[in-house]
Amino acid sequence: MNPPDDGVRAVEAVLFASEAPLTLDAIRAHVGDGIDVRAALAALEADYAGRGIELVRRGERWHFQTAGDMAHVLRRDREEARKLSRAGIETLAIIAYHEPVTRAEIESIRGVQISKGTLDVLMEAAWIRPAGRREVPGRPLTYATTAEFLSHFGLASRRDLPGIDDLRAAGLLDLVDLAFEQAEVAPEDDAP
Amino acid sequence: MNPPDDGVRAVEAVLFASEAPLTLDAIRAHVGDGIDVRAALAALEADYAGRGIELVRRGERWHFQTAGDMAHVLRRDREEARKLSRAGIETLAIIAYHEPVTRAEIESIRGVQISKGTLDVLMEAAWIRPAGRREVPGRPLTYATTAEFLSHFGLASRRDLPGIDDLRAAGLLDLVDLAFEQAEVAPEDDAP
Amino acid sequence: MKGTVPAYMKRFCPAEVCSTIAAMDDDTLTIDIDGWEGPLDLLLALARAQKVDLRQLSILDLVQQYLDFVEQAKRLKLELAADYLVMAAWLAFLKSALLLPRDPEQEPSPEELALRLQLRLERLQAMREAGARLMAHDRVGRDVFARAAPEGLRTVRKSVWQAEIYDLIAAYGRVSARTRPVMHIVAERPVMTLEAAIERVSRLVGQRIDWATIESFLPEDATGGFRKSALASSFLAALELARRGKVELRQQQAFAPLYVRGTA
């Protein structure tokens, strides 16, 4: 490694010491305005490419983490992350690919009602959040994913969601015609 | 940085993700016997020399930490503008008009006791300073204003402060009723 | 039949689903529909069993399979949840609409309905695959790890005290005013003095023959505070004149009207 300049070192130290991923502004608040944070991040990204530690961008935030191919030396004594139910995984995927999306829209895509617990579990994991109301009759609440979601699943942005461009091109992410589909599938649906 | 070999990368990742400094044996338990941990540590030590992160040995244990000279960026001072309390501004005014003045004199002029905190705040703001002791029984400390006081309030000297007649002409002594009633309602209002 | 899955049922349902079909008693089987997440899920499972791209799917075949499945379930006295039967009814309608001669009035057309069903299956399938791919990503705490013991970043708050010159001067004005000798001035108020009342009552009482209320001795234009003052002074005047023997006073009871009459 070539010893980096003090600006790069400062950004490196701040990211290394931080307990959570940091935005450009948060980094700048620590290292001061005299440092080109963007350039320092680019330098660090290059410096760490191919090492056992990597600098990654998750949403608008940056952090260091171990390289993905090192999982085998790290995993042994870790608890496996709590397994999400199938309903939970599908609901999370639907929110991530369609956000902001209402509960009724999620239910329409899955063809079943969502149990209350499903959204709660995703909120508790801090992967989804309420994202305002849709200005349609009933003003239903919409849901969207969070910065923690991107960070947890290793996505630089929602554009990194696997296959999202193809799905959109195929029209599979278009908003659902709710009135029609609910009438068709579940006329006795007593969902709230 | 030259991309290191997988042995070095594995040791790097294990040290990074560890909750505590690790011994050679503990590292070896993670990365396996096929890796020369000692050589990997030497390589890492060289790689990180002069960076914002350092590999350090504490006794028989190894870990990464931020470089010592980067401590200043990990701590960020944030300035918060705060308005001086009524007790604070009155005390400051009395000191400015009567300096040097003892605490007992300030209290006598204000007609209300002042808390230690009030003077502390004015000292913290660097607007007042201790100005020697009065040669009377008990030798009480006196207070006076500072150059910072003059500059903060845009005064060339203390003589620029309006006199009592000026105050009366400006109607500032007519505040009496309101001020008096408030003082009566809250005679112990003395927080800084 | 107890505890076994008929061969013809296996044809229609994926292995993991069929394993949840269990014998409840001799002639009733119950399907644990937790295995399927609703009729759409079952339809998708059946569609995937056709082993073709969902876009090449024969909706008619799929509909027939679903209807067969529900028929078999009925024959076996399987208890299906209501939404499965609702879906069956709708699919039966779709099937007949697709097979019968076209009713040009019908909107949307059966082909359109079939297309939408296919789209829904595709969409569910896409989300299911997306979820699986998402879960397979490098996940923090499973595949990649953040630093376990970061030093942490600290923010130290420092107060910057603020005050304006006006605040300072006004504060001194306030303190000075507060501690300066206070002079009390009583504002002038309209009153009727006792002397004036005695003069007035003794003059008026001479002009009257009979009992008159004390109020009738007040000036007609007396209002507000002046009237109260005049009433109080006139009352005192009446007492004083009674003491001198110039007037008589009469009152039926407490708070009743007070009458005054000259003694002359």
Cα C16 to Cα A13, A74, C12, C33, C66: the distances in Å are 51, 33, 12, 12, 18
At B183, the pLDDT band (50, 70, 90 cuts) reads: very low
In a domain, A97, yes or no: yes
Per-residue model confidence as pLDDT tens digits over C152-161: 777 777 778 8
Cα A125 to Cα A60, A130, A151, A152: the distances in Å are 19, 13, 12, 10
In a domain, A79, yes or no: no
Show residues of chain A in contact with C145, CB under 8 Å: 65-66, 74, 78
Q: Do residues B30 and B91 share a domain?
A: no
Q: Do residues A23 and A106 share a domain?
A: no
Q: Do residues B59 and B12 share a domain?
A: yes
Q: Do residues A46 and A131 share a domain?
A: no
Q: Do residues A64 and A150 share a domain?
A: no
Question: How confident is the model at residue A142, as a pLDDT?
Answer: 92
How far is C-alpha C221 from the chain's CA centre?
A: 59
Question: How confident is the model at residue B185, as a pLDDT?
Answer: 39
From the list B63, B65, B17, C149, the residue with the least C-alpha distance to A74 is: B17
At B84, the pLDDT band (50, 70, 90 cuts) reads: confident
Per-residue model confidence as pLDDT tens digits over A8-27: 999 999 999 998 899 999 99
Q: Which domain holds residue A56?
A: 6-73
Q: Do residues A92 and A172 share a domain?
A: yes
Percent of chain A, pLDDT > 70? 85
Angle at CA C32, nearest 5°, toward C26 and C35?
145
Domain count within chain B: 2
Sheet holding C212-213: strands in order across? C212-213, C259-262, C247-250
Question: How confident is the model at residue A80, as a pLDDT?
Answer: 55
In a domain, A78, yes or no: no
Per-residue model confidence as pLDDT tens digits over A123-163: 988 899 999 898 888 899 999 999 889 988 989 898 999 99
At B2, the pLDDT band (50, 70, 90 cuts) reads: low
In a domain, A91, yes or no: yes
Subunits with at least 3 CB pairs below 8 A relative to chain C? A, B
Domain ranges of chain C: 7-136, 194-262
**HSE (CB half, 13 Å, CA atoms) of C85?**
8
Question: How confident is the model at residue A2, as a pLDDT?
Answer: 62
Q: Do residues A165 and A116 share a domain?
A: yes
Shortest alpha-carbon distance between residue C3 and chain A (Å): 26
The reply to whether residue C40 touches residue A111, judged by beta carbons under 8 angstroms, is: yes
φ/ψ of C29, rounded to 5, equals: -105, 145
The reply to whether residue B13 touches residue A74, judged by beta carbons under 8 angstroms, is: yes
Using an 8 Å Cβ cutoff, are A112 and C36 in contact? no
Sheet holding A53-58: strands in order across? A22-23, A61-66, A53-58
Q: Do residues A180 and A127 share a domain?
A: yes
From the list C124, C120, C102, the residue with the least C-alpha distance to C111 is: C102
What is the ipTM, given to two decimal places? 0.65
DSSP class per residue in B33-100: TTS-HHHHHHHHHHHHTTSSEEEEEETTEEEEEE-GGGHHHHEEEEEEEEEPPHHHHHHHHHHHHH-S
The letter for the amino acid at C119 is: L
Residue C56 is classified by DSSP as G
Q: How many CB atoms lie under 10 A from the CB of residue C85?
A: 14
Give the residue-averaged pLDDT of C224-253.
Answer: 90
Shortest alpha-carbon distance between residue B135 and chain C (Å): 26
Give the residue-averaged pLDDT of B112-137.
Answer: 89
Q: Which of B46, B73, B100 is the last residue of a domain?
A: B73
Q: Do residues B17 and B57 share a domain?
A: yes
Q: Do residues A48 and A22 share a domain?
A: yes
B38: domain CATH number?
Answer: 1.10.10.10
| pLDDT of B184 strictly over 70 | no
In a domain, B43, yes or no: yes
Give the residue-averaged pLDDT of A58-78.
Answer: 83
Mean pLDDT comparison of A8-12, B167-171, C226-230, highest-scoring range: A8-12
Question: How confident is the model at residue A77, as a pLDDT?
Answer: 55
Question: How confident is the model at residue A187, as a pLDDT?
Answer: 37
**Whether this model's pTM surpasses 0.80:** no
Mean pLDDT comparison of A67-71, A97-101, B78-82, highest-scoring range: A97-101
CA pseudo-torsion sign C33, C38, C42, C44:
negative
**Domain C194-262 class in CATH:** mainly alpha
Q: How far apart are alpha carbons C236 and C261 in whole angstroms?
A: 15
The reply to whether residue A67 touches residue C144, judged by beta carbons under 8 angstroms, is: yes
Show residues of chain B in contact with A16, CB under 8 Å: 52-53, 64, 66
Shortest alpha-carbon distance between residue C184 and chain A (Å): 59
Give the mean pLDDT of chain A.
85
Q: Do residues A64 and A139 share a domain?
A: no
* Residues on chain A bordering chain B, Cβ-to-Cβ distance under 8 angstroms: 1-4, 8-14, 16-17, 29-32, 47-53, 64, 66-67, 70, 73-74, 76
Per-residue model confidence as pLDDT tens digits over C70-119: 888 888 777 777 888 888 889 998 888 888 887 777 777 888 888 888 88
Q: How far apart are alpha carbons B71 and C153 in whole angstroms?
A: 10
The reply to whether residue B4 touches residue A76, judged by beta carbons under 8 angstroms, is: no
More confident residue, B105 or B164: B105
The reply to whether residue B83 touches residue C163, judged by beta carbons under 8 angstroms, is: yes
> Mutate which of B27, B74, B75, B79 to test chain A, going by most A C-beta atoms within 10 A?
B74
Return left, alpha or beta for B64; rule: phi > 0 is left, psi -120 to 50 is alpha, else beta: beta
More confident residue, C187 or A76: C187
Using an 8 Å Cβ cutoff, are A70 and A52 in contact? yes
**HSE (CB half, 13 Å, CA atoms) of A167?**
24
Q: Which of A39, A73, A107 is the last residue of a domain?
A: A73
Subunits with at least 3 CB pairs below 8 A relative to chain A? B, C
Question: How confident is the model at residue C16, as a pLDDT?
Answer: 41
Q: How far apart are alpha carbons C139 and A125 in whole angstroms?
A: 13
Per-residue model confidence as pLDDT tens digits over A21-55: 999 999 999 998 899 999 999 999 999 999 999 99
At C23, the pLDDT band (50, 70, 90 cuts) reads: very low
Q: Which of B44, B73, B102 is the last residue of a domain?
A: B73
In a domain, B79, yes or no: no
Residue in A13, A66, A73 nearest the CB of B53: A13
Shortest alpha-carbon distance between residue B133 and chain C (Å): 24
Q: How far apart are alpha carbons C229 and C232 in whole angstroms?
A: 5
